[in-house]
Amino acid sequence: MEEKVRERQAQFVLREKTLGQILDDTVARFPDRDAVVYADRNYRKTWREFAEVVDDFARGLMALGVQKGEKVAVWATNVPYWVALQFATAKIGAILLTVNTNYREHELRYLLQQSECENIFLIDSLRDHDYVDTLYKIAPELRVQSRGELRCRELPHLKRVCFLGAEKYRGMYSVPEIMAMSVMVDDAEYAARQASLDPWDAINMQYTSGTTGFPKGVMLTHVGVGLNGYWIGRHQRFSEQDRVCLPVPLFHCFGCVLGVSACVNHGACMVILESFNPLQVLAAVDSERCTALYGVPTMFLAELEHKLFKRFDVSSLRTGIMAGSVCPEPLMRRVVDEMNMKEITICYGLTEGSPVMTQSDINDPLPLRCETVGCAMPGIEVRVADPETCEELPRGEVGEIICRGYNVMKGYYKMPEETARAISPDGWLHSGDLGIMDENGYLRVTGRIKDMIIRGGENVYPREVEEYLLDMPGVLDVQVVAVPSRKYGEEVGAFLIPRPGVELNPEDVRAFCRGKIAWYKIPRYVAVISGFPLTASGKIQKYKLREMAAERWPEAMQK
526 and 414 in one domain? Answer: no
pLDDT at 410: 98
Residue 353 included in any domain: no
The strand pair at 343-349 and 319-322 is best described as parallel
pLDDT surpasses 70 at 264: yes
DSSP 43-57: EEEEHHHHHHHHHHH
119 and 47 in one domain? Answer: yes
Residue 259 included in any domain: no
pLDDT at 434: 86
pLDDT at 212: 46
Residue 208 pLDDT class (50, 70, 90 cuts): confident
pLDDT at 297: 86
pLDDT at 503: 93
471 and 428 in one domain? Answer: no
Average pLDDT over residues 46-66: 98
- pLDDT digit string, tens, across residues 237-259: 999 999 999 999 999 999 999 99
pLDDT at 370: 87
Residue 538 pLDDT class (50, 70, 90 cuts): low
Q: Of 182, 198, 214, which residue is a domain's last?
A: 198
pLDDT surpasses 60 at 43: yes
Residue 42 pLDDT class (50, 70, 90 cuts): confident
548 and 420 in one domain? Answer: no
pLDDT surpasses 70 at 539: no
pLDDT at 358: 98
DSSP state of 408: S
- What percent of the chain shows pLDDT beyond 90? 83
Asked if 120 contacts 89 with a C-beta cutoff of 8 angstroms, the reply is no
- pLDDT digit string, tens, across residues 127-158: 999 999 999 999 999 999 999 889 999 999 99
137 and 46 in one domain? Answer: yes
What is the domain-level CATH number for residue 442? Answer: 2.30.38.10
Average pLDDT over residues 529-543: 76
Average pLDDT over residues 208-229: 85
163 and 78 in one domain? Answer: yes
523 and 399 in one domain? Answer: no
Residue 276 included in any domain: no
Burial of 178 (0-12, 13-18, 19+ CB in 10 A): buried
Q: Of 153, 180, 198, which residue is a domain's last?
A: 198
46 and 182 in one domain? Answer: yes
- pLDDT digit string, tens, across residues 437-470: 999 999 998 877 767 788 988 888 788 898 899 8
What is the domain-level CATH number for residue 485? Answer: 3.30.300.30
pLDDT at 210: 44
82 and 158 in one domain? Answer: yes
Mean pLDDT (the chain) is: 94
418 and 485 in one domain? Answer: no
192 and 51 in one domain? Answer: yes
Residue 361 included in any domain: no
DSSP state of 213: S
> Which residues does residue 540 pair with via DSSP β-bridges, in sequence order?
534
pLDDT at 4: 78
pLDDT at 91: 98
pLDDT surpasses 70 at 537: no
Q: Which of 114, 118, 121, 120 is nearest to 159 (CA)?
A: 118
Average pLDDT over residues 83-89: 98
Radius of gyration of the chain from its Cα atoms, rounded to whole angstroms: 23
Residue 88 included in any domain: yes
Residue 534 pLDDT class (50, 70, 90 cuts): confident
Burial 468-502 (b: 16+ CB within 10 A, else e): bbeebeebebbbbbbbbbeebbbbbbbbbbbeeee
Name the residue with higher pLDDT: 352 or 535: 352
pLDDT surpasses 60 at 1: no
Structural domain total, the chain:
3
Name the residue with higher pLDDT: 211 or 331: 331
- pLDDT digit string, tens, across residues 324-376: 776 778 889 999 999 999 999 999 999 999 999 999 999 999 988 988 999 99
Q: Of 145, 164, 198, which residue is a domain's last?
A: 198
What is the domain-level CATH number for residue 103? Answer: 3.40.50.980
The structure's pTM equals: 0.87
Asked if 231 contacts 265 with a C-beta cutoff of 8 angstroms, the reply is no
pLDDT surpasses 50 at 289: yes
Residue 277 included in any domain: no
pLDDT surpasses 90 at 113: yes
pLDDT at 221: 98
Residue 410 included in any domain: yes
Region for 552 from its dihedrals, namely left if φ exceeds 0, alpha if ψ lies in -120 to 50, beta otherwise: alpha
Average pLDDT over residues 293-319: 95
Residue 105 included in any domain: yes
pLDDT at 535: 59
- What percent of the chain shows pLDDT beyond 70? 97
Range of the domain at 537: 453-557
pLDDT at 317: 98
466 and 425 in one domain? Answer: no
